[in-house]
A and B are shown apart, each in its own frame.
Chain A
Amino acid sequence: MESSEVWAALENVKDPEIPVLTVVDMGIITAVQQTTDNRQRTTCIVTMTPTFVGCPAIDVMKKSIYEEVKKLGFDTVEVKVDFETAWTSDRMSEEAKTKLEKFGLAPPPHINGELTEEQLNNVRCPHCGSTDTTLRSAFGSTLCRAIRFCFNCKQGFEQFKPI
């Protein structure tokens, strides 16, 4: 099977905490591997890396990935979770960041390895587009969100944390 077919199937798996993004948009799929043994039995191994170590959505995503890939007809499907490739918010695609902003969540800036305090400033409000915003709390409704406030439209909003 073309590996693009597996990736297409993975596009059907949404992040349960951010339903506009797929696991592919999020950049949490790190490898797709297919093998056929000498009895012509096919196996597909999908490897994923968690956004946060304690992310409670992992098991749900793992199960959905298994189900979607199994539909393609493999004899065996294995979904592995490891930290071989550490997830950072830089793994999100540009398309994903646009979808996030439309969803009302400010996307994370590109941090290139190390988060600095400056990167926590200059965040654009997803409601009115102003950058006159401030960090209210680095901790929000899920592990991956921070709470911010916009001085221009006087609204609170959430940001997907750069990590």
Chain B
Amino acid sequence: MNNEGLKDLLYKMADDALIIGHRNSEWTGIGPMLEEDLAFSSMAQDKIGHAQALYKILHEILGEEDPDKIAFLREEKKFKCCHFTELPIGEYDFSLVRHFLFDHAEALRYEMLAQSSFQPIVLLAKKIKGEIKYHTMHSDSFLKQLGTGNEESHARMQSALNYAFPFALGIFEKSEFENEIIADGIFAGEEELKKRWLEKIATIIAAATLKLPHVDESKIAYGGRKGFHSEYLKPLLDEMCEVVRTDPEAEW
């Protein structure tokens, strides 16, 4: 089994979950209504829990650092998250659209990983499936309600979708080990995931009376998987890691 390819896959999944989890948590206390404040806070907690479980596999099975060290003491260029997860929360329309696009990709990725040749990820994928179902149910219901709500809500959702889509496609940036992990049966690959994702979101977007924008390949936000990040990641890491970095050896 290709360990480097496997590590690369787990790192990008975990980093995506950690960073979008952190972004979700930024709605805590300022959500547009109590239920939504709770929703984003709960999803943040789930995502960060998923990140921790993935870092734990990296640590316990693949010999990487301790999960807390991986999360808080790596420099920016070691992170493998995509730019999409790094973007600021913006207005609620953007956060909802990102939640919709990202969570469907994540749900499908775990669905595919439930067939992986790497057993630890199979067990985690089966466990996480039930949790993410609540996330996608939440995003789908809002996308439909606001897409078909009134003129303003429709326009805002369409505009958020137009802005978010080139970033969302960056989720599927291929790894340099793509062929190896496919051949080893670890993961069926980003191309296959993107295909399933486009099929899945198309029906929900249509039900929300929204339109999927056309995106030129040159506009897709790639780079994150290789450690080249948007301008937003560094300030996020500085804030997220501020306390730990004042005394990395402190006992909690």
- Interfacial residues, chain A to chain B (CB-CB below 8 A): 52-56, 82-84, 86-88, 115, 117, 136-141, 143, 147, 161, 163
Distance between Cα atoms of A137 and B131 in the complex (Å) = 14
Q: Which residue of A has the minimal Cβ distance to B45?
A: A54
A139 CB contacts on chain B under 8 angstroms = 35, 38-39, 41-43, 134, 138
A163 lies within 8 A of B49 (CB): no
A117 CB contacts on chain B under 8 angstroms = 137
B116 CB contacts on chain A under 8 angstroms = none
B101 CB contacts on chain A under 8 angstroms = none
Q: Which residue of A has the minimal Cβ distance to B129?
A: A86
Nearest-CB distance from B54 to chain A (Å)? 10
Nearest-CB distance from A71 to chain B (Å)? 26
Distance between Cα atoms of A140 and B137 in the complex (Å) = 15
4 nearest CB pairs, A to B = A54-B49, A137-B35, A139-B42, A83-B123
A161 CB contacts on chain B under 8 angstroms = 134
A83 lies within 8 A of B134 (CB): no
Distance between Cα atoms of A163 and B131 in the complex (Å) = 7
Q: Which of A86, A87, A143 contacts B42 (CB 8 A)?
A: A143
B130 within 8 A of partner (CB): yes
Q: Which of B38, B43, B123, B130 contacts A115 (CB 8 A)?
A: B130
Distance between Cα atoms of A1 and B46 in the complex (Å) = 39
A52 lies within 8 A of B137 (CB): no
Asked if A137 meets B127 with Cβ closer than 8 Å, knowing A53-B46, A115-B133, the reply is: no
Residues of B131-159 at the interface with A, using a CB-CB cut-off of 8 Å, are: 131, 133-134, 137-138
Distance between Cα atoms of A88 and B134 in the complex (Å) = 14
Residues of B40-73 at the interface with A, using a CB-CB cut-off of 8 Å, are: 41-43, 45-50, 52-53
Nearest-CB distance from B217 to chain A (Å)? 35
Q: Which of B35, B38, B39, B52 contacts A54 (CB 8 A)?
A: B52
B130 CB contacts on chain A under 8 angstroms = 88, 115, 163
B123 lies within 8 A of A82 (CB): yes
16 examples of A-B residue contacts, CB within 8 angstroms: A53-B50, A54-B45, A54-B46, A54-B50, A54-B52, A55-B49, A86-B127, A88-B130, A115-B130, A137-B35, A138-B39, A138-B134, A139-B42, A140-B42, A143-B45, A163-B134
A137 lies within 8 A of B126 (CB): no
A53 lies within 8 A of B49 (CB): yes
B204 within 8 A of partner (CB): no
Asked if A53 meets B131 with Cβ closer than 8 Å, knowing A86-B126, A136-B35, the reply is: yes
B124 lies within 8 A of A83 (CB): yes
Q: Which residue of B has the minimal Cβ distance to A161?
A: B134
B126 lies within 8 A of A83 (CB): yes
B35 CB contacts on chain A under 8 angstroms = 136-137, 139, 147
B128 within 8 A of partner (CB): yes
A53 lies within 8 A of B134 (CB): no
A52 CB contacts on chain B under 8 angstroms = 46, 49, 131
Distance between Cα atoms of A19 and B133 in the complex (Å) = 27
Nearest-CB distance from A24 to chain B (Å)? 20
B131 CB contacts on chain A under 8 angstroms = 52-53, 163
Distance between Cα atoms of A117 and B133 in the complex (Å) = 10
Nearest-CB distance from B96 to chain A (Å)? 14
